[in-house]
Structure 1
Amino acid sequence: MLTTARLQRMNHGSRFRAFTLRGDRHAKPIDPFLGVDHAWISEPTFPAHPHAGFSAVSYLFMDSQTGIDNQDSLGNRNLIQPGGLHWTAAGNGVVHEEVPAEPGKTVHMLQIFINLPEDKQSQAPFAFSVESQEVPVVHSPGVKVRVPLGSFHNVVSPLSLPTDVRLLDISLEAGRELSVSIPEGHVAFVMPIDGEVSVDGHPFDLSDPKVPVNLPQGADRRVTLSAPTGNAKAVVFSGTPLNQPVHWQGPMALASSEALTAAVARYQRGDFGNLNLR
């Protein structure tokens, strides 16, 4: 039996369109993920902003028309190309900004918010990336699986992660299916990206935006994706739940109200640092 959550539309004019999924204040039922935005961004939308307590992860789909110009208050500045992934572990605080690299072109991406274990929320922030050509890919007839985070079959992402998660970017040709095993102890969910994706026989697409979560419920620990009506694309997320409280304030989320109050005070004092001018 599938449990479902509803994707919400979130638009900022025509420059930022997204389907967004959020856990509740305790991060259920998608713990350790706090939220996911499946987004199309055509212009700079959000000014430089702080993060603390969790990781902000950007993954660009291969069909993205352009990359993302990313910079943070640690002094990092890099171009996230289509197919690449950038991970910012905010820890005790960082200022961050992302904008499309080329005016007039649209970025097609996932913005993923992943909780940090409580003992890592007070640590210094850091960032790392994987380039498109470094992302492992598994091919079978009519199926392609990119593995930017975690592992699948016999391939493993080159990234060492502060939170135990997996992300599989799956493309299916019409009539094809794929069985995905869920790692022991992981919570898993599926987000439809393009076309109609059937999950264990249940159809899901963006015209009926419900997302199956807590997959699977039975002892088999497998989920089967298929593309019954045409080519389709979906992302399978999974991770080990942290089972810790989540206290939110804007773009900060920490495990206690005291830690959140302290993070806000650090940001207001300027302790998160500043961005260099572009």
Structure 2
Amino acid sequence: MSNIKLIIDERPANIGNFMVGRLLPFREKRMVGPFSFIDHMGPAAMSDHENLDVPPHPHIGLSTLTFLFEGEITHRDSLGNDVVIKPGQVNWMTSGSGIVHSERTPEYLRTTDKMLHGLQIWVALPKALEQMEPEFFHVEGKDIPEWQENGVNFKLIAGEAFGKKSPVPVYSPLYFIEIRSTSRQKINIGNDLFGESALYILEGAIESEGNIFEPKHILIANNAKLCEFEMHENTSVYIFGGEPFPEERFIYWNFVSSDKELIEEAKIKWLNQSYQPVPGETDFVRLPDPSKFIKR
């Protein structure tokens, strides 16, 4: 019996002036453990007059994880943080009761040809922490656990697995793992995982139960304990998951919560522009049709 429960294709989505491939949420699978949203950015070649510009916008009830393969992004937020994220580093922003941030091409790259490629991920907060004070952490690539086993490179970007712990300050049991191999290798890591589990193929291909799966797909597992597959040459995959929450999560725009009323309050607050502003920013992303409530 196959351990693959569902296959999700990457779908195009527009985030302002930049196209991404959306992987989660999906109509048949809204979340994997606490992971509620995944966008694959690029790879995009931008000329000297093209730049990423996502003006200030708010979040509640979640943590965002930004991880780049190529390029750089300036993150600014309402806490006063102004940080450039580069490949291999992690930006971890926890919105809690509310935070506003912008994402732009750094000033020193805006008139040059450039690449941008990475993942942007939302991780829902446990119900008891949905209204916590907002926080921001920037983690250097050298501080992320990385090791090699039998010619396979592993990196624990966030969470806990394999007896290791990432310095990214997560708020529920989860894992986000990078696995890379230049040669064909069999992988069996089921006993190291827990909760719900999924695998995203960035490049190359994997083989499972006689089937070959290629990039731009997420494979949702029936059982994390049975996570066995074969990586083809020059393959990179990301395994993510963790313990699901007992309560469902509702999503409207950039707001995630177990309580619809908190989302309605956030909508009104953004309409009234009563969130703390981002220093140095003057424009903002307008709320989509406030009469609509996009729910799980």
Matching of residues 247-258 of structure 1 within 5 Å: 247-258=250-261
Q: What SS does the corresponding residue of 2:96 show, helix, strand or coil? A: coil
2:63 to 26, 33, 55: 55
Residue 126 (structure 2) pairs with residue 126 (structure 1): no
How far has the Cα of 1:239 moved from its partner? 1.2
How far has the Cα of 1:250 moved from its partner? 1.2
Change (3 A) 1:182 1:90: farther
RMSD over aligned Cα atoms = 2.5
Q: What SS does the corresponding residue of 1:262 show, helix, strand or coil? A: helix
Aligned to 1:226: 230
Aligned to 1:275: 278
Distance in 2 (CA, whole Å) between partners of 1:55 and 1:191 is 20
Aligned to 1:239: 242
Change (3 A) 1:108 1:235: same
Residue 201 (structure 2) pairs with residue 213 (structure 1): no
Distance in 2 (CA, whole Å) between partners of 1:46 and 1:29 is 24
Count of residue correspondences: 269
Change (3 A) 1:28 1:158: same
Structure 1 residues without counterparts, runs of 5 or longer: none
Residues 63, 125 of structure 2: 8 Å contact kept: yes
How far has the Cα of 1:212 moved from its partner? 1.3
Distance in 1 (CA, whole Å) between partners of 2:10 and 2:141 is 29
Q: What one-letter code is carried by the residue in structure 1 that aligns with 2:7?
A: A
Distance in 1 (CA, whole Å) between partners of 2:251 and 2:127 is 14
Residues 95, 134 of structure 2: 8 Å contact kept: yes
TM-score, reference length from structure 2: 0.82
Distance in 1 (CA, whole Å) between partners of 2:150 and 2:193 is 27
Structure 2 residues without counterparts, runs of 5 or longer: 282-296
Q: What SS does the corresponding residue of 1:124 show, helix, strand or coil? A: coil
Residue 8 (structure 2) pairs with residue 6 (structure 1): yes
Distance in 1 (CA, whole Å) between partners of 2:150 and 2:267 is 51
Superposed CA deviations along residues 189-208 of structure 1, whole A, max 9, x for unmatched, are: 000000112245532112xx
Q: What SS does the corresponding residue of 2:54 show, helix, strand or coil? A: coil
How far has the Cα of 1:27 moved from its partner? 6.2
How far has the Cα of 1:54 moved from its partner? 1.2
Aligned to 1:173: 182
How far has the Cα of 1:144 moved from its partner? 0.5
How far has the Cα of 1:185 moved from its partner? 4.4
Residues 173, 243 of structure 2: 8 Å contact kept: yes
Aligned to 2:288: none
Q: What one-letter code is carried by the residue in structure 2 that aligns with 1:7?
A: D
Aligned to 1:69: 74
Q: What SS does the corresponding residue of 1:263 show, helix, strand or coil? A: helix
Distance in 2 (CA, whole Å) between partners of 1:234 and 1:108 is 15
Change (3 A) 1:70 1:215: farther
How far has the Cα of 1:5 moved from its partner? 3.3
Q: What one-letter code is carried by the residue in structure 2 that aligns with 1:6?
A: I
Change (3 A) 1:164 1:152: closer
Q: What SS does the corresponding residue of 1:47 show, helix, strand or coil? A: strand
Aligned to 1:20: 22
Identity of aligned residues (%): 22
Change (3 A) 1:182 1:10: farther
Residue 45 (structure 2) pairs with residue 37 (structure 1): no
Residues 33, 197 of structure 2: 8 Å contact kept: no
How far has the Cα of 1:226 moved from its partner? 2.1
Distance in 2 (CA, whole Å) between partners of 1:68 and 1:200 is 39
Q: What SS does the corresponding residue of 2:117 show, helix, strand or coil? A: strand
Superposed CA deviations along residues 64-86 of structure 1, whole A, max 9, x for unmatched, are: 1x222111111111111210111
Q: What SS does the corresponding residue of 1:107 show, helix, strand or coil? A: strand
